[in-house]
A and B are shown apart, each in its own frame.
Chain A
């Protein structure tokens, strides 16, 4: 890794010293992919790993931001510092966005120990999850005790984002569809716990019942028989704990809240802490940490290799020329890609051979 530039070294030093503006600027560099941001993150990496990270996701209008606000208030009352990253969609046409989550963060406004950062999806495929994970690192290195990542929906991008969190809460609105909606992929799998917000509505009891039925159907038949304590070896078998309850000894609870009045927020905080305690006790925390590191390495590798691929394409006269010859049936896409990749493959093999020869000597 290259050395930090003078300006970035000062920036990382100020961030570690607790300078809010420096933290904000580091996140901007992360978001913009400003050259040098990787060196900056590399320097901060050793300082991370202390914060507990919670992901909150759910459909628009379920009350995520208001919940996050109420939760933040509780953490602050307990003397903990909080960082919030709120992700909102951006326009696929202009790239612009209106980031409105901050409006709901009213109860701690003016308190600098709550750092709220709004992020737009910016139409970057897959890159968003990387930017979010990196921003979490910056907040962690800054010394925030609690970090909350808030994001809309349950699409692939959101699933990737919430993977940066240790504990994921899925927020559901009462009467938001029948039990078939809950069967849809993505909703149940990602939740470590479920929040039925606006629980003062009539339909709330039905939604809670639907959720609980689904969760218990999902859990393995033996899960109910165990006392809830598995050894670390069973946890190892399922380090991600992705499929709810299965083998992991954790059955996602369903918490009812009314975020606007603060009702049930205590229960939510307890459920979140229970899950984090469970992760530690079961040894799953370590597995999840490794899993996250693995995902991160793979993502970075793919990004860099993708850039290499673009360079190779440019050398061959750009994608337009190649696609034209495929469209007119002069050649086929498989041959084209083969021709592009072969020289890379032999170069990689050559350098690997040279490396192993060198290490033998």
Chain B
């Protein structure tokens, strides 16, 4: 008999990948997610795709939010997704991309497995609401 109450929390990894050193946006999102009651793991700057994959797998996150402003998204993000697939951790992870992504790249990223892309001007509420609606279906 397991009687203790189940207590779920939405776990998110906010990740900076590649050489891009601008993390203000990632910090704002991390803080907003925290205030929304999520558990946020922040990767720190300049992570390699393999490090992001390792963190996402080990932390068993519901949401992986990748912040990227360098323009290298077409190279780095597919690598992260392939890594997650190799650990069988892709299906149950909501993948978000935030930053500067040109319109013509969005379809490619979505096809690669990104669930949503948030560009400049997106409100915090919109992002949080998206996570609330789509994350954490076990």
- The chain A residues found within 8 Å of chain B, CB to CB, are 2, 20-21, 23-25, 27-28, 31-39, 90-91, 94-100, 102-103, 106, 109-112, 115-118, 120, 122, 124, 127, 303-304, 307-308
CB of B39 closer than 8 Å to a CB of A? yes
The secondary structure that dominates the B interface is loop
Collect the chain B residues with CB atoms within 8 Å of residue A307's CB: 3-5
Contact of B125 with A by CB under 8 A: no
Give Cα A90–Cα B9 distance, bound, in whole angstroms. 11
| B residues in contact with A97, CB < 8 Å | 34, 39-40
A61 to chain B, nearest CB (A): 17
- A300 to chain B minimum Cβ distance, whole angstroms, is 9
Q: How far is the CB of A174 from chain B (nearest CB, A)?
A: 26
- What size tier do the contact residues of chain B reach? 35 or more
Chain A residue at minimal CB-CB distance from B30: A98
Report A-chain residues with C-beta under 8 Å of the C-beta of B39: 90, 96-97, 99, 118, 120, 122
> Do B58 and A100 have beta carbons less than 8 Å apart?
no
Q: A91-B34, A97-B39 are in contact. List 13 more A-B contacts (CB 8 A).
A: A24-B59, A24-B60, A32-B8, A33-B6, A33-B7, A34-B6, A90-B39, A94-B37, A95-B37, A96-B40, A97-B40, A100-B42, A122-B39
> When the two chains form their complex, are residues B57 and A20 in contact, meaning their CB atoms are under 8 A apart?
yes
Q: How many inter-chain residue pairs (CB < 8 Å) link A and B?
A: 115
B4 touches A110 (CB 8 A): no
Tell whether B110 is near chain A: CB-to-CB under 8 Å: no
Asked whether any CB of chain A lies closer than 8 Å to the CB of B119, the reply is: no
User: From A112, which residue of chain B is reached at the shortest CB distance?
Assistant: B54
Whether the pair B40, A24 counts as a contact (CB closer than 8 A) is no
Q: Could you say which of B43-51, B69-77, B94-102 contacts chain A?
A: B43-51
Q: CB < 8 Å: which of A31, A36, A110, A120 contacts B54?
A: A110
A98 cross-chain contacts in B, Cβ below 8 A: 30-31, 34, 40-42
- 16 example contacts (A-B, Cβ-Cβ < 8 A) are as follows A21-B60, A24-B59, A25-B60, A33-B7, A37-B2, A94-B36, A96-B37, A98-B40, A103-B43, A110-B51, A115-B58, A118-B59, A303-B3, A303-B4, A304-B4, A307-B5
The listed residue with most A CB atoms (<10 A of its CB), out of B5, B7, B48, is: B7
A100 CA / B55 CA spacing, docked (Å)? 12
Flag if A103 contacts B6 (CB, 8 Å).
no
**Which of chain B's residues 1-36 have a Cβ closer than 8 Å to chain A?**
1-9, 11, 30-31, 33-36
- Assess whether B44 is in contact with A33, with CB atoms less than 8 Å apart: no
Complex formed: what's the CA distance from A112 to B38 in Å?
Answer: 26
Report the minimal beta-carbon distance from B105 to chain A, rounded to whole angstroms.
26
**A33 vs B3: C-alpha distance in the bound complex, in angstroms?**
9
CB atoms of B6 and A35 under 8 A apart: yes
Check B81 for interface membership: any CB of A closer than 8 A. Answer: no
Complex Cα gap A89–B123 (Å): 27
